[in-house]
Structure 1
Amino acid sequence: MKYVIGVDLGTSSVKLLLVNQNGEVANEVSRSYPLIQEKTGYSEQDPEQWVSQTVVGLSELVRAFDGDVNDIEGISFSGQMHGLVLLDESNQVLRNAILWNDTRTTKQCQEIYEKVGKERFISITKNLALEGFTLPKILWVKENEPSIYEKVKTFVLPKDYLRYRLTGKLEMDYSDAAGTSLLDISSKQWSTEICELLDLNISICPPLVDSHENVGKITSDMSKHTELSESTNVFAGGADNACGAIGSGILSEGKTFCSVGTSGVVLTYEQTGDKDFEGKVHYFNHAAPNAYYTMGVTLSAGHSLSWFKDVFAENEDFDTLLKEVGDVPVGANGLLFTPYLVGERTPHADATIRGSFIGMDSSHRKRDFARAVLEGITFSLQESIEIFRNNGKTIDKVYSIGGGAKNKEWLQMQADIFDAEIVKLSSEQGPGMGAAMLAAYGCGWFPSLEACADVFLEEAESYLPIKENAAQYKKLFSVYKQVYNKTSDLNEQLMEFRK
């Protein structure tokens, strides 16, 4: 039996999957690393932590493997998007990586619009200039850390740096490049126009490759540290959301998934890169060959639930916290939550908006709040689905992965709020499985990623919308959508009181 490894380099940990030719996960290892948050809005990591923890994790995976290490034929990667890793002429890291959830770059986003023009920028990149993306981070370093910027030879994203350390070769795939705000999405080339207007040397942009492309082998030094064979093929990999799409079978028109992690994502397949969503949702190159996807993002999805548990139910696990949400009626007895704990992305690109509980009274109990949190997260995701539907997409079946797929009440809630069939996969590994599938396809096990998905992925259970609940949620959703406009000015005024 042959095997591949899928590496998912996330925000809080790296997860490694050993997958055989039948798509079965033979083993998995997870290694965590810390966030560095020195100021409000700042979020960084030490890239060396990604490397050291991945190397230890690979070694653990190989040592537990009872077969011939040469049967592990390939490895590929999924990685957190948008993070900025700056390298000097020797490919040494110049500073901590600035992550996707860092919001210090509001001024730089405005500068992009002033110098490029908002409409022109969207026409090239298919996306808004957002604080979380890579380009504003580069401009921030250029303005605030000029001595570091002077030494910059190139930049990469997190998983690209990890792959470089394993292979000694430096590239970026199209799906991750699409999230930098420097890629011309349709032509699949770095934008000379944007670089020139912002006085950036286009030479800092790395070579571009397809996600399934073989980019080399494990170096002899890394072979010793990881115990992988030097003959192990290394494939470029892709952005975590693109790999999550592959790992959920989102490989043809009409396929959609909803993923709840720290952030939440609704993603749907697009055959071409020439549609115009006016920047209302993200529009990126897929990790699947010659394909694209559109995506709406809730910045604080699973994070909202984790925050609520940590603050109000510190000594309970998630199962205990959510045990009674099924006993609470639709609408949480008139309690409504908006999950804007760290700002919002879709449909409101707003770094200053903050969350709210609306409608609290003394009759409400913890279980009402817990249900309201789940409903609020799901309403936020529904805003993305509404945009897709308003632009002509038919969404009647949604694959649910991540934290939102672990609770039956939440799965039914998604079916009712989305008014669509919700499908849970039998083995839900998301981005890590997508990375493994890219390696399997790259190794030549299958003629296409679709053929790989037919073997690797299997539907386990589904949830259909309950008509009465869907009708109630439709009413409540119209109330939910009003909260943003009615609280945005209040939150702006509260900014000066935040420390």
Structure 2
Amino acid sequence: MVTESSASFLGLDLSTQQLKAVIVNENLEILHEETVIFETHLPEYRTNGGVRVNKANPHEITAPTIMWIKALDLLMDKLIIASVDFSKIAAISGTAQQHGSVYWQNGAEKTLGNLDSSNFLHTQLATSFSVSDSPTWMDSTTKIECRCFEEAVGGPENLARITGSRAYERFTGPQIARISTHRPETFKNSERISLVSSFLASLFLGRIAPIDYSDASGMNLMDLRTKKWHPQLLKLCGPDIEKKLGDPVPSCSCLGTISPYFVERYGFNEKCKVIACSGDNPSSLIGMGIKDDWLAVSLGTSDTLLIWLSEPKTVLNGHILCNPLDPNAYMAILCFKNGSLAREKIRNRYADKSWDEFNELLESTPRGNFGYLGLHFDVEEILIAASGEFRYNKEGKKLSKFSSSEIEIRAAIEGQFLLRRLFAEEIGFKIGKGTKILATGGASCNKSILQVLSDVFGCPVYTQDNVNSALIGAAKQALIGFNKERGENNRADYLTPKLVCEPYKNSEDMYGPMVQKLVQIVKNIENESKQI
């Protein structure tokens, strides 16, 4: 019997390139971590970065479903070698790359429920999938299906209002429709269809797990407000699709107890709970622990903003998902392609590839940069259909270059964060007293950059020691679900962010007008791009 004082919680993260596990105690203190890297540890599947690209059609990007299962077998062996006591694990949950899909062969659920604990999972489930290579979030073969989805409900804006996003090629709904149309026999032989997150939960549950609300809202299939599959969109996905998908369930809900296979093979307690798994973005929100007065900013290859919303917005260039922590709330995702790589390019060009020199030049210029503003889109931006470099003076006049390296650097960094603030405010985030930013990702260790972020948004900026928010979020899902099942409230202070910097007092006077100026600049850039 697992006692409260000895209970631990297992979180898993099935991402594009690897499968990770973390074991934590009830205070979310990390007890153990392990990782299986697909390309390194499972070379027999010949993936590159965890995926396969179809040479005949480079837009088709998949991953071997059985590779993910073999990775779990390897991961469990690593945990055994590390002397993990599985009997103390009170609950399990997980997170996974969003938008990928898994197609279970007819009879697969019966196989899942009758596994032989003396054999590996991957040998017993080798023939359990009607589609051997799962479509991933990187796949972009569904342009025709996306058009059909938007037309079925009266256009992209209506689809965004209903499902939280306009049609995206990587989303699961159009992908299911494509398989149904192009491979009707395969579709017919598919007993159930999972997202990668619910597939992961299924392995531990011993039966096909339902999809949680948050991950379901990234499919272009579920009505955000009713939390049910939308009838008109379902019709595009093929016969018996409701049965193949099952009904979505609330995030962090308990799905049942762990499969006898894991009890017998690894010594899990038979009462260990399996909690609904979710996508990486919802789990990141859980892992960061943000609430409605927080803005999460991930400063990575792409910069991603996660925003807590009290009601859904209709956006054409972002995503609205169901909030995994509150069934009555929502979350917005804004992604900017030109993140750290754009910052590094500026550093290389104007600071001799040195972050120390970059920071020194950044700090040597005054906040507001004399009104100079720079926008650098090395690749076509997502929220602005434009690429190239754009420079402006305080009157909004376009320039070809600035007069010094330090002005170039500050103009670029301020330009990035002004653009992020502009779109965050448009989607519903309210800048004001009491709002805070939690920064994560590679650039969150650069205090000079974080100070600009703080000044532009007029908010204090915090960081956390553990930057793997999705994995920690998975472990926290297990803990939340376990406590809910026992009728206990969850504490709000599992993770304690550390204050890094605060905005200068007159920051809003400086940057508020610059955001307003940026509105017209963005319109001008978009109009110029349309004419090219």
Assess if the C-alpha contact under 8 Å between 2:12 and 2:471 holds in 1: yes
Aligned counterpart for 2:455 among listed residues 411, 416, 425: 416
The one-letter code sitting in structure 2 at the alignment partner of 1:80 is Q
CA–CA separation in structure 1 for the residues paired with 2:207 and 2:380: 36
The yes-or-no answer on 1:73 pairing with 2:90 is yes
What SS is found at the alignment partner of 1:100? coil
Shift of 1:70: 1.0
Counterpart amino acid of residue 201 in structure 2:
R
In structure 2, relative to structure 1, the CA distance for the partners of 1:331 and 1:147 (3 Å cut) is farther
Say which is worse superposed, 261-270 or 331-340, in terms of deviation: 331-340
Q: Which AA in structure 2 matches 1:49?
A: M
Shift of 1:135: 1.4
Q: Distance in 2 between matches of 1:182 and 1:341?
A: 30
Cα contact 2:307–2:429 (8 A) shared by 1: no
- Alignment partners' CA distance in 1, 2:427 and 2:511: 19
SS of equivalent to 1:247: helix
Report the equivalent of 2:307.
Answer: 268
- Pick the aligned partner of 2:247 from 188, 203, 207: 207
> Could you say what secondary structure the match of 2:79 adopts?
helix
Larger Rg: 2
Query: Alpha carbons of 1:199 and 1:221: their partners in 2 closer, same or farther (altered >3 Å)?
Result: closer
Is the counterpart of residue 105 in structure 1 residue 142 in structure 2? yes
Aligned to 1:165: 203
Structure 1 regions of 5+ residues with no counterpart? 495-499
AA aligned to 1:48 is: I
1:486 deviates by 5.0
Task: Give the whole-Å Cα distance in 2 for the aligned partners of 1:385 and 1:446.
Answer: 35
Structure 2 unpaired stretches of 5+: 1-5, 39-48, 109-127, 392-399
Task: Identify if the C-alpha distance between structure 1 residues 196 and 474 changes in structure 2 by more than 3 Å, giving closer, same or farther.
Answer: same
User: What is the TM-score normalised by the length of structure 2?
Assistant: 0.75
Q: Does 1:14 align with 2:19?
A: yes
TM-score by length of 1: 0.80
Higher mean alpha-carbon deviation, 89-98 vs 433-442, is at 89-98
User: Contact conserved, 1:29 with 1:61, CA < 8 A, in 2?
Assistant: yes
Q: Distance in 1 between matches of 2:81 and 2:437?
A: 38
**Residue 467 of structure 1: CA displacement?**
4.8
Given candidates 320, 327, 330, the residue that maps to 1:290 is 327
Give the corresponding residue for 2:78: 60
Q: Secondary structure at the match of 2:168?
A: coil
Tell me the equivalent position of 1:356. Answer: 388
Distance 1:431 1:120, change over 3 A: same
- 1:25 maps to 30
Whether 2:114 is the aligned partner of 1:96: answer no
SS of the residue 1:212 aligns to = coil
Instruction: For residue 129 of structure 2, give the secondary structure of its aligned residue in structure 1.
Output: coil
What do you get for the CA RMSD once the two structures are aligned?
4.0
- Cα distance in 2 for partners of 1:58, 1:261 equals 30
Task: Deviation per CA, 1:306-349: give whole Å up to 9, x if none.
Answer: 98599999x98x967966564564689967344573651x4x5x
3-state SS of 2:471 partner: helix
Distance of aligned partners of 1:70 and 1:459 in 2 relative to their CA distance in 1, 3 Å threshold:
same
Q: Measured at CA, do residues 207 and 421 of structure 1 come closer, stay the same or move farther in structure 2, by a change above 3 Å?
A: same
2:442 alignment partner in structure 1: 403
Verify: 1:137 aligned to 2:175, yes or no.
yes
For residues 76 and 361 of structure 2, the distance between their equivalents in structure 1, rounded to whole angstroms, comes to 39
| Mapping 1:279-318, distance limit 5 Å | 279=316, 281-300=318-337, 304=341, 308=345
| CA positional deviation for 1:176 | 0.7
**1:115 paired residue number:** 152
Deviation at 1:225, TM superposition (A): 7.0
Alignment coverage as a number of residue pairs? 480
Shift of 1:425: 3.2
1:382 aligns with 421
Instruction: Give the secondary-structure state (helix, strand or coil) at the position aligned to 1:193.
Output: helix
Q: How does 1:428-443 map to 2 (within 5 A)?
A: 428-443=467-482
Residue identity (%) = 22
Give yes or no for the alignment of 1:84 onto 2:116: no
For residues 449 and 286 of structure 1, do their structure 2 counterparts lie closer, same or farther at Cα, with a shift above 3 Å needed?
A: farther
Change (3 A) 1:204 1:338: farther
Kindly provide the CA deviation profile for residues 432-481 of structure 1, in whole angstroms up to 9, marking residues without a partner as x: 22221221122238978973332x21131142223566555556556665
Q: Give, in angstroms, the shift of residue 65 of structure 1.
A: 4.3
Amino acid corresponding to residue 85 of structure 1 in structure 2: V
1:77, CA displacement in angstroms? 0.8
1:379 Cα deviation from its structure 2 partner:
4.0
Which residue pairs with 2:118 in the alignment?
none
Are residues 102 and 407 of structure 1, via their aligned partners in 2, closer, same or farther at CA, if it must alter by over 3 Å?
farther
Aligned partner of 1:47 among 65, 69, 73: 65
1:457 and 2:528 equivalent? no
438-447 or 482-491: which moved more?
482-491
The DSSP-based 3-state class of the residue aligned with 1:211 is coil
